[in-house]
Amino acid sequence: MRLNEIVYNDARPIDGYGPGFFRVAGKVLEGPVLVSAQGAATWGGLEDVAPLLALKMKIDVLFIGTGAEVAFLPRALREQLEEAGLAAEAMATPAAARTYNVLLSEGRRVAVALLPVVAPPAGA
């Protein structure tokens, strides 16, 4: 079996995540994040639509990580994204991060908006 090294060129992959944080291209960001090939920044969460709409002409698909479990996107967000012609796919944050990295390594025009995975309460 032959393994190929994944090359991201100048793009920013998601290196890892944990309770309340993400590591993107070696930099730790706390809370929700928005990541594309051009950069990574903190994000205001599902109510913060403007940064997502700003990606319209730069990407082909936006993945939205909804936390530890997949959840429906709020209707208002979904409608705004559809109206702008922005293809968005909701999935659990771990799956969204993996999918983003795979497509990014293929040179695809993708972005991901991620809600953090929250640690379970102590004793749970």
Q: What amino acid occupies position 25? A: A
CATH topology of domain 31-114: Hypothetical Protein Mth938; Chain: A, (3.40.1230)
Q: b/e for 87-96, b at 16 or more Cβ within 10 A?
A: ebebbbbeeb
pTM of the model: 0.88
- Domains of the chain, by residue range, sit at 31-114
Averaged pLDDT for residues 64-90: 96
β-strand partners of 30: 21
pLDDT computed for residue 80 by the predictor: 97
Percent of the chain clearing pLDDT 90 (strictly above): 78
Q: Which residue do the tokens 């309340």 mark?
A: 20
Q: What is the mean pLDDT of the chain?
A: 90
Do residues 86 and 55 make contact, with C-beta atoms less than 8 angstroms apart? yes
